[in-house]
Amino acid sequence: MLDLTALSVPIVGAPMAGGPSTPALTAAVSAAGGFGILAGAYLSPDQLREQIAAVRDRTDAPFGVNLFVPEEIPFDAAAFDAYREALLSLAARYGAELPEHVDYSDDRFDAKVGVLLDEGVAAVSFTFGVPEPAVFATFTERAVATIATVTGPLEAEIAVAAGATALCAQGVEAGGHRGTFHISNDDREIGVLDLIGQVTGLDVPVIGAGGVGGRDDVAAMLDAGAIAAQAGTAFLRTPEAGTRQAHRDALTDPRFTETATTRAYSGRLARGLVNDFIRDFTEAAPPVYPQINTLTGPLRKAAAHDPQVINLWAGTGWRGARETGAADVVAALDPR
């Protein structure tokens, strides 16, 4: 099984679903001595298989794949309808049609687990919860490392008891979605360094995540007991990433001065640069996932060039994100 404690550079390239994650980015991070993780969420099982092949076309280095673990909770139709109503005038301005009904989707989790078992990638990472112990056991039998994303100590205990062979301790500083197991949990907002300290006693290696803008942030995570740092935002401006132009530009635009967490885009908490959409809709957004994500999709598509509308996922270290190749970013973050 892959030994995550033996990476030549202690940098994990975060999975970044929804565009930024590409086979080129994953391959570049792994080839540079870090460990790239491809985002498997929102892809069909066939697309996932193609992307895995595309990473392998570029490098022989080991890499991982990340999946969103589904959690079906009772659908709050009234909250969904009220939020849809709140978004209608903005959607009309961009000519976007918002769906009236959205069916629950599990993002084809079981089929994608099947693809990963077939393909035998080096590691599988999970966020938004953990799968059944039998899923961990099957990967472990096949010598596939399993990394569970956790945002608190109780989640870490649950993940290790279920069979995870490593943890990704995701602090509140992290860009993109928080990996909190339950959609509507109140956010305890634990910072990454505290969280690493709280979960290192469980006998599995811990990767820290959240807020990496430079090598000092990585060094602090290693000092706190992590074996590597998982960085996402730091790679958003690399040519290998699939980040949309408006998102790239916003990362250096002085109009954006802070990040915040919001449910406004997807119904789940996620951190991004504060724009008009976050300011206007955070209060109204209900914890209804993935239906709110699907609801806002047509608006985000129609307004793809407008940074005041689209999700500008970014962690608190966003000012450190540089426009340079992914291998350069890996080298620049290496504190050793």
Ligand X SMILES: Cc1cc2nc3c(=O)[nH]c(=O)nc-3n(C[C@H](O)[C@H](O)[C@H](O)COP(=O)(O)O)c2cc1C
Paired strand residues for 208: 169, 229
The answer to whether residues 299 and 309 touch, using CB atoms and an 8 Å cutoff, is yes
Query: Which residue among 16, 29, 148, 172 contacts ligand X (CB under 6 A)?
Result: 16
Closer residue to ligand X in complex, CB, 17/90: 17
Query: Which residue among 10, 163, 211, 290 contacts ligand X (CB under 6 A)?
Result: 211
Residues 250-309 that bind ligand X (CB under 6 A): none
CB of 176 to ligand X, least distance (A): 2
Q: Does 226 bind ligand X (CB under 6 A)?
A: no
Residues 18-77 that bind ligand X (CB under 6 A): 20, 39, 41, 66
Question: What is the C-alpha to C-alpha distance for residues 46 and 257, in angstroms, rounded to an integer?
Answer: 39
Query: Which residue among 174, 221, 251, 310 contacts ligand X (CB under 6 A)?
Result: 174
User: Structure tokens of 10?
Assistant: 């202690």
Query: Which residue among 153, 297, 313, 326 contacts ligand X (CB under 6 A)?
Result: 313
Phi, psi values for residue 173, rounded to 5°: -70, -15
In this chain, which stretch among 75-83, 138-146, 183-191, 225-233 interacts with ligand X, using CB under 6 A? 225-233
Q: Does 127 bind ligand X (CB under 6 A)?
A: yes
**Residue labelled with tokens 């000012």:** 319
Closer residue to ligand X in complex, CB, 84/178: 178
DSSP 295-335: HHHHHHHHTTT-TTTS--B--TTGGG--SS-HHHHHHHH--
The phi-psi region of residue 42 (left if phi > 0; otherwise alpha if psi is between -120 and 50; otherwise beta) is left
The answer to whether residues 166 and 206 touch, using CB atoms and an 8 Å cutoff, is yes
CB of 81 to ligand X, least distance (A): 28
Residues that bind ligand X (CB under 6 A): 14-17, 20, 39, 41, 66, 127, 149, 170, 173-177, 179, 209-212, 230-234, 313, 315, 317
